[in-house]
């Protein structure tokens, strides 16, 4: 059962008016243009999408963005609203036509210190200090000045920052979102020299997994899609020809399982080896918080491989 959430009328309208086409694209879903609408497939069922509304052609039912999340992401009303607000950084996702330029990427201004971010990641999330410092040293994590969010930075191969993901650090905060103008292909990731890449939904999950498997961790490649998209994965495979083995490490929930299936099908078609690793708990941070280092037990089970 989800905890009760209070939402203002404005927040509900923001969630309800989410552009589903852009939302699904950000999740890495395939859409087919059909006149003024788009077609999206949920298994064998065809769903038409336009703006913030959808319609299931098979069942002759539809609704708005909140209804979509409740049905296809298996969430109740409060969780659906929170999910949309978090995915959108608390803002409405607006679609734009091909003739318009994408929004300019404006990095959040850094704070003079990182006390809140350190406290959040070290004390709240229990990320290993050495692992955290490696990312900070490489200017991949900092604290923003305005709201003291933890900011996770993704770079392109030339070392230019292309993606900024923010995570609230206040106690009880569930805020998270990508800065407008961020390019999903370059979300938060670490390039190693081995042939292995591990894909996660969130930066905190990625750091948690590394904390659990700390030995020579920097030799491998890790990526956080900051959603359930596969864009950063395929960009990493393109930019790093040394990568031969993909580990899909999405959350242990309906959305994560669906993403694992979708991405594994693509990898199988491309002849790329993969394994699906699923935490026993909901996500990798929860797994890390319940991990007993003394036992040396691997806190995941392999679901499938190819």
**Cα 290 from Cα 280, distance rounded (Å):** 10
- On whether the pTM is more than 0.75, the answer is no
Q: Supply the pLDDT for residue 196.
A: 98
Residues 63-122 have pLDDT tens digits of 899 989 888 877 788 888 888 887 654 333 433 333 345 568 899 999 999 999 999 999
- Using a CB cutoff of 8 Å and minimum separation of 24, what contacts does 12-17 make? 12/66, 12/81, 14/84, 14/85, 14/88, 14/90, 14/91, 14/92, 15/65, 15/66, 15/80, 15/81, 15/84, 15/85, 16/52, 16/64, 16/65, 16/66, 17/52, 17/64, 17/65, 17/92
Q: Supply the pLDDT for residue 101.
A: 54
Q: Supply the pLDDT for residue 254.
A: 86
Quote the distance between the C-alpha of residue 25 and its chain's center.
Answer: 13
Sorted by where each starts, the structural domains of the chain and their CATH numbers stand as 9-87 (3.90.580.10), 115-305 (3.40.1360.10)
Q: Supply the pLDDT for residue 25.
A: 86
DSSP string, 142-176: EEBTTT--EEEEEE-TTS-EEEEEEE--STT---E
Q: Supply the pLDDT for residue 102.
A: 57
**Below-70 pLDDT ranges, the chain:** 1-6, 43-44, 58-59, 87-103, 293-306
């Amino acid at each position: 059962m989800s905890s009760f959430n209070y939402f203002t009328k404005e927040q509900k309208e923001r969630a309800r008016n989410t552009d589903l086409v852009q939302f699904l694209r950000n999740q890495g879903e395939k859409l087919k243009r059909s006149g003024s609408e788009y077609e999206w497939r949920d298994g064998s069922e065809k769903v038409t999408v336009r703006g913030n509304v959808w319609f299931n052609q098979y069942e002759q039912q539809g609704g708005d963005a909140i209804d979509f999340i409740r049905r296809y992401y298996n969430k109740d009303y409060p969780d659906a609203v929170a999910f949309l607000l978090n995915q959108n950084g608390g803002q409405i996702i607006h679609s734009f036509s091909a003739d318009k330029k994408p929004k300019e990427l404006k990095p959040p201004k850094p704070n003079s210190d990182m006390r809140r971010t350190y406290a959040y990641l070290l004390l709240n999330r229990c990320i290993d200090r050495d692992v955290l410092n490696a990312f900070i040293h490489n200017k991949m994590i900092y604290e923003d000045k305005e709201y003291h969010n933890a900011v996770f930075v993704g770079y392109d191969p030339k070392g230019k920052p292309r993606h900024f993901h923010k995570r609230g650090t206040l106690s009880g905060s569930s805020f998270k979102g990508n800065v407008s103008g961020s390019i999903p292909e370059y979300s938060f990731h670490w390039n190693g020299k081995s042939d292995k890449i591990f894909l996660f939904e969130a930066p905190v999950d990625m750091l948690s997994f590394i904390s659990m498997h700390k030995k020579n961790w920097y030799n491998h490649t890790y990526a956080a899609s900051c959603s359930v998209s596969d864009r950063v994965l395929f960009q990493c495979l393109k930019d790093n020809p040394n990568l031969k083995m993909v580990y899909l490490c999405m959350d242990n929930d309906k959305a994560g399982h669906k993403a694992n299936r979708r991405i594994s099908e693509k990898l199988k078609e491309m002849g790329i080896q993969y394994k699906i690793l699923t935490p026993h708990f909901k996500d990798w941070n929860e797994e890390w918080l319940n991990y007993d280092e003394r036992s040396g037990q691997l806190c995941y089970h392999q679901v499938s491989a190819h």
